Homo-oligomer: A and B are copies of this chain.
Amino acid sequence: MERVTVQSNVLKANQETAAENRRLFQGEGMLAINLMSAPGAGKTTLLEATIRRLRDRYRLGVIEGDLQTDLDAQRIRALGVPSHQITTGTVCHLDARMVARALAEFPVQGLDLLVIENVGNLICPASYDLGESLRVVICSVAEGAEKPKKYPVMFHKADVVLLNKTDLAAASGVDLRELETNVREVNPKATVFAVSCKSGAGLDNWLAWLRGAIESCTTADVARR
């Protein structure tokens, strides 16, 4: 009972900090994405492919979350995009306060798109609002078709679900249509894209959608000013 109360207080405090982060992002007319998945589903690889296609047109920035190492932040910087690594130690998710602290060191003013890559975990990150505009969840086809049923909270709260590694579908014995049906059963409103970051298949659809989201975010901001 004590544990439940503490958890509830933690989530309430998180919500307040998330609201502050959101005001900052909205004030800048910036699209802020909370990118989540299980370990190894391809978050950083998707980011690399996305950066290569958008960096000439938009100002991009990335906040990386991992238990240990700054391997992911290095990969992003190698593409000429500013990146800040949060290492959480043993904490299984990012929270709004960690992001607020990162924002104090990592200037995001003037960005069109900020991606916050969460810790690889298909459960806990779903409970923590970071102040993002959109939640994007990646599911690797190689994880199996039943994952949306087994991890419903993460999929239920997603705005976009990317079914990645479609190139491995046949070798993994996974039916892509069954996986998509399972996503839609848990979350009929999510926008779903099937992609392969390796072959590039399906990335055009994701990128067209993302450009639209960035533009409408900037437009809405201009209209507010």
Contacts from A to B (Cβ < 8 Å): 2-3, 6, 10, 38-41, 66-69, 71, 90, 92, 119-124, 127, 140, 142-144, 146-147, 149-153, 165, 167-168, 171-173, 198
Chain B residue nearest in CB terms to A87: B150
Say yes or no: A92-B124 contact (C-beta < 8 A), given A38-B39, A40-B147. Answer: yes
Specify which chain B residues have a CB less than 8 angstroms from the CB of A120 in the assembled complex. 38, 122, 150-151
Partner of A121, one of B121, B127, B142, B149: B121
Chain B residue nearest in CB terms to A142: B142
On whether the beta carbons of B40 and A149 are closer than 8 Å, the reply is no
On whether the beta carbons of A150 and B71 are closer than 8 Å, the reply is yes
Specify which chain B residues have a CB less than 8 angstroms from the CB of A66 in the assembled complex. 150
On whether the beta carbons of A71 and B168 are closer than 8 Å, the reply is no
Inter-chain CA distance A127–B40, complex, in Å, is 21
Provide a sorted-by-A list of 30 A–B residue pairs whose CB atoms are within 8 angstroms: A2-B6, A3-B6, A6-B6, A38-B39, A38-B120, A38-B122, A39-B147, A40-B140, A41-B143, A67-B123, A67-B151, A67-B153, A69-B150, A71-B146, A71-B150, A90-B127, A90-B153, A92-B121, A92-B123, A92-B124, A119-B123, A121-B121, A121-B123, A124-B124, A142-B165, A142-B168, A142-B172, A165-B172, A168-B168, A168-B171
- Given A67-B151, A123-B124, 13 more A-B residue pairs with CB atoms under 8 Å apart are A40-B140, A67-B153, A68-B151, A71-B146, A71-B150, A92-B121, A92-B124, A121-B121, A121-B123, A121-B124, A142-B165, A142-B168, A168-B168
Chain B residue nearest in CB terms to A72: B150
On whether the beta carbons of B150 and A67 are closer than 8 Å, the reply is yes
On whether the beta carbons of A143 and B40 are closer than 8 Å, the reply is yes
Chain B residue nearest in CB terms to A38: B39
Partner of A144, one of B40, B143, B149, B152: B40
Inter-chain CA distance A192–B149, complex, in Å, is 31
